Amino acid sequence: MTNLLLLIPCALFLGALGLAAFLWSLNSGQYDDLDGAAERILHEEDEEERD
Amino acid sequence: MHAAIAAPDIDPRVREVVPGQLHMELLAPGVHCGGCVSRIERALQAEPAVVHARVNLSTRRVSVDWRDAEAKADDIVAVVEGLGFETQPVTEQAAADAIEAREGKRLLRSMAVAGFAAGNVMLLSVSVWSGAADATRVLFHWLSATIAVPAVVYAGQPFFRSAAGALKARRMNMDVPVSLAVLLAVALSLAQTVRGAADAYFDAAVTLLFFLLVGRYLDHMMRQRARSSVTQLLSLNAAAATVVADDGSRHLVAIERVVPGMLVAVPAGERVPVDGTVATGDSEVDRSLVTGESRPEPVGAGDPVHAGTMNLGGPLQVRVTATGADTLLADVVRMMEAAEQGKARYVRIADRMARLYAPAVHILAGLTFAGWAVTTGGDLYAALMAAIAVLIITCPCALGLAVPAAQIVASGVLFRRGILVKDGAGLEKLAAVDTVLFDKTGTLTLGRPVLVEPVAIGTEQLGLAAGLARESRHPLSRAVVQAARGRGVPTLPVDHVHETAGQGLQGLSPDGELVRLGSRAWCGAAEADRRSAHTGLELCLRVGAREPVTLRFEDRLRPGAADTVAALRRRGMAVEILSGDRPAAVEAAAHEAGIGRWAAAQAPADKLARIEALQAQGRRVLMVGDGINDAPALAACHASMAPSSASDIGCTAADFVFTGDSLSAVVDAVDMARATSRIVRQNFALAIAYNAVAVPLAMLGLVTPLIAAVAMSSSSLIVTGNALRLRLKRFGDRGRTTPADAASSADAARARNAA
């Protein structure tokens, strides 16, 4: 029973962390251009962006 | 006088986000790969004034932020257009899109919350099912409650709102039983938890919400994808007009701010943005989008022109005579609205099911409650338990997915074939169609001239003609360039090219000979014979002192037109033509396409009357049309389709828009709609079969939370899997278009619109 008291909050916390990460990425526009995201990985980095 | 305007104080395209920093969104329909994205972004970032530039490949939008003091909007546009991308300002559409995008994000957030809750509650529930007892079980139920209750309150809102709206309007939709089941399940489980009882249905409530939100989000995504594709097709030329001020200076003015009396400049190759009369200039205009007339007509000072007319010849200045509610376009819009009101409101298949389904569910739950109350001798709590179990088990989880899953798969398949589905209801309506009406100009035909004569033109002549023609935006010049490209004739370099508006082009061939391409008078040829006067689409080519050659053009049928008509007939459909063009032109096209029944010189009202007559006979009519004059007919029909080269209003009115030249898209769409309707029916049958087994168990009180969870998830998965079968659908290979072809011809169509 005591290990449950530790494990359940852990599980819930990790779940909530995942949810929060998803909501953050959604709000910061990461899902706005799914086609573009697939292409961008193929680009060479721009000079300006590297430094 | 109000015709005099100062330079517009605020550029309508631009928004100030931070003081001193401007933001602009541009639609660049030509962006189609990652390479385009990085080219535009690099070019913009190389500008010292630009703070931030990003290209969205999904929506084909360029968004730029720059410092106000250092650059103007036109400079930014020039950078993008300098790379060879046409751009259009995004203005009024942006607001509607933003609302749509917010709605989508809200659904996605709700889905995430419901998914999180479903996963965690299920974790706890599995522990309970596998034997957690006493204090542990009570603890797990309380934990489930603390997760599930806020999750349901948050994620259930789309359903609760829709259900409340329906009840207020005294209607019934699928969301009413859904909301009831979810809320009752949570309430019952809370009561069970407080009592420390064995069974709680928190997992059922949140999983249910999760699956339903998946369905709802799919539905939303489909509509948004179609909408943004259609937005890309709409040429926004008409959104702005080049107004000539009294001092001769020119300004781009938003169309809403143009008033009668203003003078508007229309360069050759552009569409007239307003209704008015020609003030100065002589030209030819193409009215095919407005009236269906395929032959260009000459206009001069004093002649009336309507918005949507293409200026083919020299530059025109048009005195605005009407704006807003007085224009021809506004008349058409009024007719469209009247037609839409006259049409019986289409009830979507899911809502039709809900009308039968919701009362049945509530009656069954009521009967269960009554039956248990009587047989247990008044144990109301047990009776309520059983009744709620019935509600949960019948909850239309699979039904909520049955339609959207099938429709999004179908629209995805059609999308890859270059057919845009505006809305799922269109697929349902198209499946029932038994009569197809075609417009002629621009729909059965390509709506652009193609070189037909002389067939055996010399390679050198065509090469020289193309060398001259590529310097011009006139549709006939483009046809010459296309003909050269299509026949593999290399374009010969022509120097010192000069265009005389309304007359023709001239230049020097590599041999130093004078080459002229244009009207008969321009080339010094004899007057037109009777035959060429018939279509009026011709150019003369004169090389040096040699005899001029006459090139004749025709608006040809789309590829696959005759096959499409035959294929539609094989599917049991009646086919007719309704055109605004002259009888001779319509008869020729009807004969070539193999259509026996046709009507020419049809005004928009005549087209409407024909459709009403057919619908009065109980026919379900599909209208395929492109022009402004087709828009009321498109709106009045049971289902409607437009090519991507159609007028903006035509694209907006149609349920489907197809890119690419081939008319076989019509058959593909019909086949897919019928296949979708079959799958939807199967899905309903599966959902009903599942209920037939599960409901008696629930009524007998035999459904434990475990059975409910398994039954609901599996039925949802089966229905989704069945919908995925639509991906396997094979089409006939009539004029197969690859996505690349579709994209390139869509670009061509846009170029035609934008030019």
**Out of A23, A46, A48, closest to residue B109 by CB:** A23
Annotated catalytic, B439?
yes
The pLDDT confidence band at residue B46, using thresholds 50, 70 and 90, is confident
Q: Which of B50, B109, B111 to probe by mutation at the A interface, max A CB count within 10 Å?
A: B109
Give the whole-angstrom CA distance, residue B636 versus residue B632: 6
User: Is B205 part of any domain?
Assistant: no
User: Is B618 part of any domain?
Assistant: no
User: Is B479 part of any domain?
Assistant: yes
Q: Are B37 and A16 a contacting pair at CB < 8 A?
A: no
Question: Residue B474: its pLDDT value, please?
Answer: 75
Question: Residue B216: its pLDDT value, please?
Answer: 84
A19 and B CB contact within 8 Å = yes
Burial classification of residue B88, based on how many CB atoms lie within 10 Å of its CB (0-12 exposed, 13-18 middle, 19 or more buried) = buried
Q: What is the average pLDDT score of chain B?
A: 80
Question: Residue B672: its pLDDT value, please?
Answer: 92
Question: How many domains does the structure of chain B reveal?
Answer: 3
- Tell me: the pLDDT tens digits for B75-109? 888 888 888 787 776 655 566 677 777 888 889 99
- Tell me: the pLDDT tens digits for B436-453? 999 888 888 887 778 877
Domain boundary among B295, B310, B328: B328
Instruction: Compute the average pLDDT of residues A18-38.
Output: 85
DSSP codes, A6-51: HHHHHHHHHHHHHHHHHHHHHHTTTTS-HHHHHHHTTSPPPHHHH-
The pLDDT confidence band at residue B754, using thresholds 50, 70 and 90, is very low
The residue segments making up the domain with residue A45 are: 2-50
Domain boundary among B25, B55, B86: B86
User: Is B311 part of any domain?
Assistant: yes
User: Is B37 part of any domain?
Assistant: yes
Q: Are B57 and A39 a contacting pair at CB < 8 A?
A: yes
Q: Are A36 and B45 a contacting pair at CB < 8 A?
A: no
Instruction: Compute the average pLDDT of residues B679-688.
Output: 87
How close B396 gets to chain A, by Cα (Å)?
27
User: Which of chain A's residues have a Cβ under 8 Å away from the Cβ of B33?
Assistant: 39
Give CA angle at B61 (B57, B64), nearest 5°.
120
Among all residues of chain A, which has the CA nearest to that of B135? Answer: A1
- Tell me: the pLDDT tens digits for B345-371? 677 777 777 778 778 888 888 899 999
Q: Which of A10, A33, A44 to probe by mutation at the B interface, max B CB count within 10 Å?
A: A33
The pLDDT confidence band at residue B670, using thresholds 50, 70 and 90, is very high
Question: Residue B87: its pLDDT value, please?
Answer: 77
Q: Which of A23, A24, A25, A49 to probe by mutation at the B interface, max B CB count within 10 Å?
A: A23
Q: Are A46 and B58 a contacting pair at CB < 8 A?
A: no
Task: Report whether pLDDT(B4) > 50.
Answer: no
Question: How many domains does the structure of chain A reveal?
Answer: 1
The DSSP code for B527 is P
Q: Are B119 and A12 a contacting pair at CB < 8 A?
A: no
Listed in order, strand segments (DSSP E) in B1-156 are 14-18, 21-27, 50-56, 61-67, 88-89
User: Is B546 part of any domain?
Assistant: yes
Lowest mean pLDDT among A39-43, B123-127, B211-215, B522-526: B522-526
Question: Residue B736: its pLDDT value, please?
Answer: 42
The residue segments making up the domain with residue B61 are: 14-86
How close B112 gets to chain A, by Cα (Å)?
7
Instruction: Compute the average pLDDT of residues B464-468.
Output: 84
Task: Report whether pLDDT(A49) > 60.
Answer: no
Judge contact between B647 and B625, C-beta under 8 A: no
How close A34 gets to chain B, by Cα (Å)?
7
* CATH number reported for the structural domain that contains residue B44 in this entry: 3.30.70.100
Distances (CA, A) of B141 to B117, B133, B701: 13, 11, 21
Task: Report whether pLDDT(B271) > 70.
Answer: yes
Task: Report whether pLDDT(B753) > 90.
Answer: no
Closest CA to B666 of B646, B641, B644: B641
Listed in order, strand segments (DSSP E) in B274-403 are 275-280, 283-286, 297-299, 304-305, 310-311, 316-322
Pairwise pLDDT comparison (B269 vs B615), residue with the higher score:
B615
- Tell me: the pLDDT tens digits for B717-750? 888 888 888 888 777 644 444 443 444 444 444 4
Judge contact between B486 and B281, C-beta under 8 A: no
Give the whole-angstrom CA distance, residue B745 versus residue B256: 31
Among all residues of chain A, which has the CA nearest to that of B98? Answer: A32
ipTM surpasses cut 0.90: no
Instruction: Compute the average pLDDT of residues B57-63.
Output: 80
Annotated catalytic residue within B439, B555, B581, B661: B439
User: Is B345 part of any domain?
Assistant: no
DSSP codes, B164-183: HHHHHTT---THHHHHHHHH
Q: Which two tokens stand for residue B130?
A: 């596998």
Pairwise pLDDT comparison (B164 vs B388), residue with the higher score:
B164
The pLDDT confidence band at residue A1, using thresholds 50, 70 and 90, is low
User: Is B678 part of any domain?
Assistant: no
Question: Residue A20: its pLDDT value, please?
Answer: 93
* CATH number reported for the structural domain that contains residue B277 in this entry: 2.70.150.10
Domain boundary among B499, B523, B554: B554
- Relative to beta strand B621-624, strand B435-438 is parallel
- Tell me: the pLDDT tens digits for B156-191? 998 899 889 888 888 777 788 788 888 888 998 898
Among all residues of chain A, which has the CA nearest to that of B101? Answer: A32
Q: Which two tokens stand for residue B496?
A: 């010192």
How close A30 gets to chain B, by Cα (Å)?
11
Residues of B with CB under 8 A from a CB of A: 33-34, 37-38, 41-42, 45, 55-59, 105, 108-109, 112-113, 116, 119-120, 123, 135-136, 139, 143, 147
